[in-house]
Chain A
Amino acid sequence: MDVTKSFGGRHTGEPGVEAVNHVTLEIRDQEVFGLIGTNGAGKSTLMRMMCGVLRQDTGNILVDHEPVYDNPDAKKRIFFIPDEPYFFANATPSDMAEYYARVYPTFDRTRFTRYRQDFGLDPERRISGFSKGMKKQLAIILAVSSGCHYLLCDETFDGLDPVMRQGVKSVFAEEMAERGLTPVISSHNLRELEDFCDHVGLLHKGGVLLSEDIEAMKLNIQKIQCVFREDGDAEAALEGLTVLNHVARGHLHTITVRGTREEMEQHFREYEMIFFEILPLTLEEVFISETEVVGYDVKKFILG
C-alpha cells in the first residue's frame, strides 16, 4: 500500500531515481497476477520488495496482513524466482532440493521428484551445465515444491519455449487447484501473459497505470465494426457512449467503446445498419484502449 522506493543519490545529496512511486496493489488468493511494464518500470523492484529482498522507503507490504521484510514467518509463504535464478556452484538439482528442504519447512520432496521427472531434469547433473530454460524450469519446480503460497516470478516465462510454457501452466493450474497457489508473474511483454493471468497490473515509471481483472476488462469494452445505411447516423449513434477509439475507413467504422455486449447490441439496434458485428478483443487491444484514454501510447512500452 502506497509503496515507494528510490535508488541512488544517497551519497551525493542529489534526488534518487524513484523506481517505485506510491504503488498500491492488492493480489488476491488463487489468482494469477500479471505485472506488466517495460524495463525500468519498477517490476523487479516491486517484486524484490514483495519477497523481502528490498525494504520499501515508505508504505507497507503485507502478506496475509503481516509485513514481509525480515519476517521469516511471512517469507515462508513466499518464493521468489528472479530473472536469473541462483544455484550454488557445482550443485545438482538434488543438492538444491536438499538445501531448500532445510530452508522451507514445507518443502515436499515427493512433489519435487515428480515434477523433475515430468520435466525430464537429471537430478545428479550439475546445474551449471543446464540451459537457461532448464534452469528456469528447475527454479519453478523448486519453488512449487517449497510449499509456498505466493510464487513471485520475475520474467521467468520470458524465453520459455511454448511446450515448456504449457508445462509450467499445467503445474501452476494443478498447484492452484490443490493448495491455492497464487502466482505473481512479471513480464515486459503483454503477449507472454495474455493467456495466463486473471488480473493484470500495468506499471510505468514506477507507478501503476491500471490494475484490473482481465475478464472484467474484456467484458466492459467492446469493439464494434459497422456500416451505417445513412452516413449521418454514425455521429448520432456515438452520442451518449464512452468511446475509447473510433476509426472510419470509408463507410466502415471501427469503434471501441465501454459497455457490455448487451448494452451495445441494444444501443445500435435503433439505427439502420448495412453491417454490424461485435469483435472479440485481445488483451493487448484492451490495454491499448485503456491506456490511450489516459494519454499513454502503450504500444511503445509493452508490445515488444
Chain B
Amino acid sequence: MMSKSSYSVKDMLRGRIWTLALSFVTFFLYDVAGTAANILRIHNYADVYQYTAMQRRSEVLSEVSKWLGVRQYFGWIAVIVLAVTAGISGYAWMDNRQKTDFFESQPVRRSVRFWKIYFSGLLVFLIPAVLCLGAGLLTAAAMGCMTSGIMLDAWVELVRLFILYAGVYAISVLAAMWTGNVIVCAAATGVLLLYEPALAYLLRSLKQQFFVTYYASGTVEKPLFSPVVNYMLLTLPGFFTSNFSRVTGIDADYTNPSTVNFVRSCVRSVWKYDALTIAVTAVVTALAFLSHQKRRSEDAGSAVVFTPVRVITKLAVATLGGLYAGLGMMNLFASGRSHSTLVMSIIFIVVTVMLLSAVIQIIYDFNFRSFMRGAWSMAAAGIAAVAVFLMFRGDVFGYDRYVPADSEVSSAAVVNYGATTLTDFAEDGSAIYDGVEAASHYMMLTDISDITSLARAGQEYTVAHTPEWNSALTTAPKQTTYQIVVLYRMKDGRRIYRQFTIPADTDAKLLDRITSSEEYHKGYFNFLHDEGYLNFTTDGRITYDSGWNADWSGTDGNSGVPDQDYAGLKQALAKDVAQYCYSKDREEGPIGMIQLARRKPGSAGAAESLSYDTADSLSILVFPFYQNTIQWLKEAGIWSEPVPSAAEVSQFTVTDYNIAALRGEPADTGSLSSEAISVTYTEPDQISRLLKSSVNLYAGYGGWYLFDEDAGDYTIDIKTADGNSTSLGFRDDIIPSSVRQDLLNKAGEK
C-alpha cells in the first residue's frame, strides 16, 4: 500500500512567501516600530510642554491605547489590503495554464488543496499579527506603557482585525473562484466588497431624494453583511451609523486610556456585528469552495468563469451605476422633481447603463469589438434602473402615504424635530445628543390611535405642500409649522421612522392628549430618566440661567449651588411637568434653563467648569408655570427673572435687517436687506414698556413656540446698568407697532 502524500500547508505557505513577508513587515512596522515611535513622540511632546508625571503617563497610555486598541486609526486599512492580496494571490495559479497543469496533475484531492491554501491564507495574517502584537506589547511594557486595559484592548482588536481579515479574505477567494484573471479578480473583489454598502447608500439617497416623509435613522440602514462596515463601527463610528458612537461610548471615552470596562462596553456593542461577519465569512467560504469544485481548469485566463455570475454581475453593476448616475443628475440640477430633470436623468441612466454594460462585456470577452454582445442584458439593466428610479420618483409603493394599522404597533414615539435638543443620557451613562434617538430610547407611547391620527394629518399636509420641483422644500412657511418625527415600534420587531410637517393649527386637543401623557413626559424630559447620568457621574453643581444675566455659564466654578438637593429640585420639577402639554408650551414658552453639571469619575475640579470630556451636564428648561421649580430656585438663591427690570437697563436697541418686509413689500420678504436700521430707546418709561413685550432667548427653545414672520429679521440689544450687553426677543417675535413705526420712520429719513 502506498504511503500517504505529505503535501502540507507548509508547501502552500511557500507559495505565499512574499505575502507572508509583506504581512510581517506591515505588522512589525505598525505594532512594534509604530508603538515605540508613538511613545517616544509623546514623551518628546511632554518634555516640550512640561507635562506633569500624571499627564505624561495619561497621554502615553492614551496614545498606546488608540494605536493598538479598538480605536486604532489605520491598521485596519493595511489588514484589508493584506486580505485582498492573500485571497487573490493564493489562488492566482488557477488563472495560469502552466501552473494549473502543475498543481492539478499532482495526486492531491482538489478539496484538500483548496482548504490548505485557504488556511495558509489565514496563517499569513495570524502568524505575523500575533507575533508582532506580542512584540509590540512587550515593547510598550518595556517603555513603561502597559495596563490590563490596554493589553485586553489590543488582543480584542486583534480578534476583530482577524474577523475583518477573514471576511475580506473569504470575499477575495470567492472573487478568485469566479474569475480567471488576476486583474479581473481584483475588480471583482472590489465589487463584492463595496456592492452592499453602495446599494445601502443608494437606497438611502433615493429615499432622501424622493420621499418627503423619509427620516434617516442611523443604524437602521447600515449595510448588514459588509465585513468592512461591521468592523468600522468602532473605528469610524460615524461613517455609516450616526448614533453608534453613543452606543459604544467611544465619543465619551475617545481620548482616554483603555480600561477593561471600556473594552467590555465595546465588545458588548459590536459582538453581534462581528458574529454577523463571521457568519458571512462562513457562507462566502462555503460558496467559494462549491465554486472551486465546480470550476474547470480550462477556465484559466477567462475573465469571469460562471455564466450566472457574468449575467448577474453585469445586470447588478450596470443597474446600480445607472441609478447613481440618475441620482447624480438630480443632485446636479438641485431640482429633483422637475420634469425636464427627470427626462435628463433617465437619459443619463440609460447612457450610463449602456456604457457600463459595454465595458463589462469588453472585460468579459477581452475584446473591444464585443461591446454590444449580450445586448439583452444591457437592455434589462437599463429597464431595471429606469423602473427603480421611477418607482422611487412616483412613490409606487406608497412610502409617503404609509401609516401602520394601530394593531400592528406596540409603541410609538413623537418628537418635535424643530425643538432644541437637550442632551440626554442612556442607562450606561453615555450621552445622547439627538432628540429622535433619545425618544427612540425612552418614549413609549401606547395610545397609538392618536399617533396615527397625527401622522395621517401630517403626511397629508406634507405631501400636499411639497412642490413638484423640489422635495427638500415645502411651500408652507416654516414659522407656522412644526417638523415632526414619528417612530413606530412594530410588534414584529421593526422600527419605522417617518418625518413630516404639521401646521400650527393642527388639532390642539390631539397634540395636548399626546404631550400631556405620562408616557410622553417620561420620554421627553431627561431628568425623568436620569439614572444613567447619575450613576456614571459624581458630585456637581446646579446653576440657573435666564438668558440675560452674565453669570450663567459659571466659568468661575463657584456659581450655582451644590447638587446635594437635586432630589428636591427633581421633585419640584416632577410636580410641574405633570402639567406640561403642547398648549402650555406654545402659549408661554421657556423662561430659563437649569443646568446640573457633574464630574465624570476621575476628573478633578469643579464640575461646571470642566470640559465635555471630563464632565456631563443635564440641562432642564423652566417654563413660567413651573411654580414649584421656581420656588426651589428662589430658595436656593439662584433664581433670576426672565427679563431684567427697567431699572437694570440703560439702553434698549432694536435693529431690523429687513425693512422691505416691515413695509409690507412682499417681493423682498424672502431675503434680508443689506441695509440695517436701528432705533435706540433710553427713556425708562419706554424701556419699561418694551421690556413687558420682551422675552429672553430661551423662549425660542420651546418645542412648540411659534415664530412670527418677523423672526430672524431683527435683534434686540440691551445694555444693563453695570455696562454689560445682552440680547432679548419680542414676545412671539412680533415687533410692537410703535417700534415698527419708529423703524419705518428711521428708514424714511435715509
Contact = CB atoms under 8 A, between A and B. Distances in A.
A72 B109 contact: yes
Interface in B457-501: none
A103 B3 CA distance: 11
Contact of A103 (B98, B108, B310, B364): B108
A99 B373 CA distance: 45
B307 A86 contact: no
Contact of A52 (B98, B105, B307): B105
B587 interface: no
Contact of A55 (B106, B107, B296): B296
Interface in A68-111: 70, 72-76, 78-80, 82, 84-86, 88, 99, 102-106
A53 B7 contact: no
A228 B307 CA distance: 69
B297 A53 contact: yes
Nearest to A75: B107
A54 B364 CA distance: 22
A48 B101 contact: yes
Contacts of A104: 5, 106-107
B104 A105 contact: no
Contacts of B4: 105
Contact of B7 (A52, A85, A102): A102
A103 B107 CA distance: 7
B106 A86 contact: no
Contact of A75 (B14, B105, B296): B105
Contacts of B364: 11
A11 B102 contact: no
Contact of A54 (B5, B14, B15, B296): B296
Contact of B105 (A51, A84, A88): A51
A105 B99 CA distance: 21
B606 to A, nearest CB: 68
B110 interface: yes
B647 interface: no
A11 B307 contact: yes
B8 interface: yes
Contact of B107 (A12, A72, A99): A72
A7 interface: yes
Interface string A41-66: 00000001001111100000000000
B297 A103 contact: no
Interface residues of A, number: 30
Contacts, number: 77
A10 interface: yes
A106 B2 CA distance: 7
B307 A80 contact: no
Given A102-B6, A105-B3, A82 B98 contact: yes
Contacts of A51: 105
Contacts of A10: 307
A75 B101 contact: no
Contacts of A82: 98, 101-102, 105
Contact of B106 (A54, A75, A85): A75
B11 to A, nearest CB: 6
Contact of A53 (B8, B105, B310, B373): B105
A72 B104 contact: no
Contacts of A76: 2, 5, 107
Residue among B14, B102, B106, B108 with the most chain A CB within 10 A?
A: B106
Interface in B293-317: 296-298, 307, 310
A86 B2 contact: no
Interface string A190-201: 000000000000
Contact of A80 (B3, B99, B105, B108): B105
B628 interface: no
A16 to B, nearest CB: 10
Contacts of A79: 105
A72 B4 CA distance: 10
B411 interface: no
Contacts of A54: 296-298
Residue among B8, B99, B108, B373 with the most chain A CB within 10 A?
A: B108
Interface string B509-550: 000000000000000000000000000000000000000000
Interface of B: 2-8, 11, 14-15, 98-102, 104-110, 296-298, 307, 310, 364, 373
6 contacts: A48-B105, A54-B298, A70-B110, A72-B109, A76-B2, A102-B6
Which are the 9 A-B pairs with shortest beta-carbon distances? A75-B107, A86-B102, A80-B105, A105-B3, A72-B107, A76-B107, A53-B104, A51-B105, A82-B101
Given A48-B101, A76-B5, A86-B98, 20 more contacts: A48-B297, A53-B100, A54-B296, A72-B107, A72-B108, A75-B107, A75-B108, A76-B107, A79-B105, A80-B101, A80-B105, A82-B98, A82-B101, A99-B11, A102-B6, A102-B7, A104-B106, A105-B2, A105-B3, A105-B5
Interface of A: 7, 10-12, 48, 51-55, 70, 72-76, 78-80, 82, 84-86, 88, 99, 102-106
